Every structure is written in C-alpha cells, then in structure tokens.
C-alpha cells in the first residue's frame, strides 16, 4: 500500500484524454528523467465524438498551464472567441429578436459591492438585466472580439472562452503532449484488464504491446467507460427524470459568404422538444438539435433542424446530420480503487452551457493537483475527489434545469413536463423559494471553486423573466450606488465598441501574424 505512484496510464484520447495527459505531464515533469511517467493508450479505430465545440474561459488557463501557444491553437483548431451564450425563444417561444437574453462571461459591473437587482427592478426593469449591468452582451450583438491585436496571448479585455473544432483540438493536443510534454503514446486496442489480488488494476492487456502496467489509471474511454463502468461496474446515476434530452443531430454548415460575421457567443434556440445550438468557427458553423426522444421523433427533429438552418442563411441542400444518443447521468463514484474517470466515462448531461469540457478540465486539474504520492494516500484523495465531483455534477444539473423550469412556453408537452414538480430537483426548488425575496448570492454557493458563480444564476434567472416578490425584504437599498455601476457599464460599452475589432478581423490577424506572447 506504500508503493509510490510513478506511472499514470490514460486509456482513451480525444479532448478528455489528451487534456488529462497534458495537465498531468506538464505539472509533474514527465519529460524529466525523475518525473512522473504518463502513458496514453488510444484505439486507432475509435473516432472521437468530436461535437463538443464550446469551452468556458477556464480553457485559457488550461492551455497556458500546459504551455500551448494560443496563436497556434487558433490556427490549428479552427478556433474562435466565445464570450457567453445567447438564448432565443426560451422565455415564451417568441421571435429571436424579441425573446432572447444573454449569459455573458463577465461579472456584472460592481457585482458583490453593490445591490444591483432591486434598483434595476425599481428604476430600469424595462431593460434586460444583463444588458444593463454588463458590456459583454453588446459586444456579442455587434460581433466584437474580446481583445485587440496587441493584447498578449491568453490576456483579455473582455473575459472569453473558445469555440473550436473538437476533432482538430484532439490532434493538436496529442502533438503538443508528445513533442513538448514527454507523454508516451501507445496506439493499440485494450483487450483485457489484469488485476492485483487486492482488486486494483495491475495492467491493461493490449493487442500489439502486451501488458501495460501502471499505478493509476484514468478512464477516458467515452460513454462505454471501459474501466470504471465496464470492469468495476460502477453504475450510472440516470438523470433523464430531471433533464429529458437524450438525442442530438449535428451538422456542419458553410457561411453564406467568406466574410460573413463570426458570432461571439453560442446561440441556443429553443424548439418544441429541445433546442438548437449554433456555434461560429472561422470556416463554418457547427449546428445541432438536442431533443428528447420521449417528446419527438428523429424525423421531426431533423425537419426542425433543417428549418432552422434554412432560416439562418444555411444551404438548402444541407447534408444529412450525424445522429448521437446519450443517457443523461453521472457515475455513482468517479474514482474507485486506482481508476478515475474523466470526460464522458464519468457522465454526460447535455450540451447546454458547455459544461462537458469544463468538467474535464476541473477533473484533470484536481487529479494533478492532489496526485497521491502512494497507493495508501490514494484512498484519501479518491474520497475527496468523489465528494467534490458529486457536488459539481449536482450543481450542473440544477443550473441547466433552471433554464427549463422558468420557461413560460406552453406549446408542447416537453415544456410543460419540464415544469412539473416530479422533474424539479429539491435543492433547486428551495433556492427558487429563497430567490423570491433576494437574489442568488455567495450564501447559496459557498465553495471557493463553484462550477457556476452566483452571478451566472442571476443572469439566467432574470433573463428568463423571473421577478422577486420583494427584491431584498427589509435590506437597505442604495439606488445611487447602483446607478453609478449602470453608468459605468454603459461607458465601458461605448469605449469597447469603438476600440475592439470584429471577431473575423482579429481572427484573420491572428492567422497571419499571431498574438504577442505574455
């Protein structure tokens, strides 16, 4: 039990496997003779799912952490800037130019210092909350980039994440891990799992390379969860009773013109039995319809997808979409014995708010930061890991459900069922009761590393039309302080709109000249 952890074996590539390999190898000197050995086994015949095209701003820190050039990343991954999400038709099913709101990546101006909600309701309630307290929705509407050509790599004028080609991203990460970080690569099929007498995994039997031994195994084998789910039988805790979507149709669509604007946000447009994502990359748009198979069929879902593509400037001869199915849920445990699952092997809910890659980043970072020195310490670390990620998955589910339970759409059973008491997590029900009298705050989300900060809950809550019965009860309200913040946000908006280039302009500059190094 006191055996040192000297060799980490990752099973499965794609974004999850190579991000985990990169973070651990960079942190633990895998290239050095005395460093941790990191090996990634990847089946040469299993293509990645490759439709997770949106990230959070945390990806900037992750790429910088592993030593990637942001300029190379933009060029090689067909990447663009993402400054948040726009939700069309979620409130009552109206037209996109009247029924929409933003969840931006920047905090409200003066957030945490000033009560913004009560003065907004009392004096500015006709203005969307995010538009009043943040400059970023205005950048998105006008297609602006979040930085200038002279802003260094990974630095930001406005907080941003990325849109990217997931297939190219996996290839980019693999090359970086192999050439720069000292990760050992084994392209082979795992045919069997060999165990120690105590039940730990001792090695993985491969078709061409024999038995590959390791001390810690990371399962990045996708939804099959070869090690955690398959070998150890750790069950999936199904969540379809809360979040109904279990299917998606994905397609890649060209722009109308080569100089068409590139959206600065992910656009999510509600449908009768789901929603459609629309992600702008430099060379194409990635579009997909996420839906509940219990509320519609594949044929109707494809008709809805084709109608959306045609209405938003896509080609009349759209190619046949790719069908994906999934079981929304997460593992009862994520770290069992000497196996930890990261990515789809740990679970998947749905693409709304792009939490999948963020959970990969968080998981890989915690494994690396808290890497046990010995097998004896691993049981302590695994308990902490399981507790942290059970909490995080539960918060993700509640946050995604918030978008559905607040909708006033009544045009289908899908939306009515989403508002039913049976589909409401109890903790979310309690929070909504509290928020009838005060805004979401740090009192509701007290952990240092919350998946979604209370500001995100405010953006969605008030964007969806939720209005408190009383903004703060008997708390003192200082409208002048809030007005100063509203004016500051408006002033920032004017200055940034004048100074920032368009997304396409900056991305073209990066492709030709790159960005300055930090």
Q: Which residues are catalytic?
A: 82
Pairwise CA distance, residues 517 & 413, whole Å: 52
Instruction: Determine whether the annotation assigns residue 273 to a binding site.
Output: no
Pairwise CA distance, residues 186 & 43, whole Å: 9
Name the phi and psi angles at 254, rounded to 5.
-75, 160
Instruction: Determine whether the annotation assigns residue 344 to a binding site.
Output: yes
Instruction: Determine whether the annotation assigns residue 240 to a binding site.
Output: no
Pairwise CA distance, residues 121 & 344, whole Å: 41
The structure tokens 């990169």 sit at 22
Whole-number Cα distances in Å, 172 to 13, 30, 57, 168, 344: 12, 19, 19, 6, 20
The structure tokens 């210092």 sit at 113
Nearest to 463 by CA among 204, 184, 120: 120
Beta bridge partners of 104: 84
Instruction: Determine whether the annotation assigns residue 353 to a binding site.
Output: yes
Residues 6+ apart with CB under 8 A from 44: 187, 188, 189
Which structure tokens are listed for 191?
A: 């045919």
Instruction: Determine whether the annotation assigns residue 178 to a binding site.
Output: no
DSSP letters spanning 54-75: B--THHHHHHHHTT--HHHHHH
Instruction: Determine whether the annotation assigns residue 13 to a binding site.
Output: yes
Burial profile 444-465: b = 16 or more Cβ within 10 angstroms, e = fewer = bbeeeebbbbbbbbbbbbbbbe
Beta bridge partners of 323: 249
The alpha carbon torsion through 81, 87, 89, 94 (nearest 10 deg) reads -80
Nearest to 45 by CA among 177, 195, 208: 208
Give the E-state strand segments of 79-134 in sequence order: 80-82, 84-88, 100-104
Pairwise CA distance, residues 360 & 58, whole Å: 11
Pairwise CA distance, residues 50 & 383, whole Å: 31
Beta bridge partners of 247: 291, 325
Name the phi and psi angles at 82, rounded to 5.
-125, 125
Task: Give the other-Cβ count within 10 Å of 140's Cβ.
Answer: 27
Instruction: Determine whether the annotation assigns residue 434 to a binding site.
Output: no
Pairwise CA distance, residues 48 & 51, whole Å: 9
Residues making up the binding site for L-tryptophan: 353
Query: Which residues participate in the annotated binding site?
Result: 13-16, 82, 190, 344, 353
Annotated binding site for FAD: 13-16, 190, 344
């Amino acid at each position: 039990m006191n055996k040192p952890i000297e060799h980490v074996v990752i099973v499965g590539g794609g974004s999850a496997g190579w991000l985990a390999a990169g973070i651990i190898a960079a942190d633990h000197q895998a290239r050095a003779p005395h460093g941790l050995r990191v090996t990634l086994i990847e089946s040469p015949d299993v293509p990645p799912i490759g439709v997770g095209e949106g990230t959070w701003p945390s990806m900037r820190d992750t790429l910088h952490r592993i030593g990637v050039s942001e300029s190379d990343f933009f060029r090689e991954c067909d990447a663009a800037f993402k400054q948040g999400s726009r939700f069309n038709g979620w409130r009552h099913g109206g037209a996109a130019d009247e029924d929409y709101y933003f969840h931006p990546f920047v905090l409200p101006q003066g957030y945490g210092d000033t009560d913004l909600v009560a003065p907004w309701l009392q004096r500015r309630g006709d203005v969307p909350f995010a538009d009043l307290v943040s400059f970023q929705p205005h950048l998105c509407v006008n297609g602006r980039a979040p930085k200038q050509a002279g802003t260094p790599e990974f630095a930001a004028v406005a907080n941003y994440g990325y849109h990217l080609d997931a297939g190219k991203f996996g290839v980019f990460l693999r090359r970086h891990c192999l050439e720069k970080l000292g990760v050992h690569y084994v392209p082979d099929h795992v045919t069997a799992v060999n165990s120690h007498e105590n039940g730990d995994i001792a090695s993985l039997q491969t078709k061409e390379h024999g038995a590959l031994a390791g001390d810690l195994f990371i399962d990045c084998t996708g939804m099959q969860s070869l090690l955690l789910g398959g070998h150890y039988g750790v069950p999936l805790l199904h969540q379809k009773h809360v979040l109904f979507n279990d299917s998606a149709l994905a397609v890649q669509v060209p722009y109308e013109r080569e100089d068409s604007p590139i959206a600065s946000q992910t656009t999510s447009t509600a449908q009768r039995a789901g929603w459609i994502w629309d992600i702008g990359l430099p060379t194409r748009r990635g579009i997909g319809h996420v839906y509940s198979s219990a509320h519609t069929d594949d044929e109707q879902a494809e008709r809805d997808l084709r109608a959306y593509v045609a209405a938003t400037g896509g080609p009349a001869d759209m190619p046949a979409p790719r069908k994906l199915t999934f079981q929304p849920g997460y593992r009862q445990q994520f770290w069992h014995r000497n196996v930890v699952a990261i990515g789809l092997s740990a679970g998947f809910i749905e693409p709304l708010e792009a939490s999948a890659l963020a959970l990969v980043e968080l998981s890989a970072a915690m494994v690396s930061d808290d890497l046990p020195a010995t097998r004896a310490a691993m049981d302590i670390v695994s308990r902490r890991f399981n507790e942290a990620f059970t909490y995080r998955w539960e918060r993700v589910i509640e946050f995604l459900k918030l978008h559905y339970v607040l909708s006033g759409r009544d045009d289908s059973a899908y939306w009515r069922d989403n508002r039913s008491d049976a589909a409401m997590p109890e903790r979310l029900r309690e929070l909504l009761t509290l928020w009838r009298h005060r805004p979401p705050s740090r009192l509701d989300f007290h952990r240092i590393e919350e998946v979604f900060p209370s500001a995100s809950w405010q953006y969605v809550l008030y964007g969806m039309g939720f209005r408190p019965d009383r903004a703060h009860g008997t708390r003192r309200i200082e409208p002048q302080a809030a007005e100063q913040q509203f004016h500051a946000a408006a002033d920032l908006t004017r200055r940034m709109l004048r100074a920032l280039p368009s997304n396409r302009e900056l991305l073209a500059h990066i492709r030709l000249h790159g960005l300055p190094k930090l």
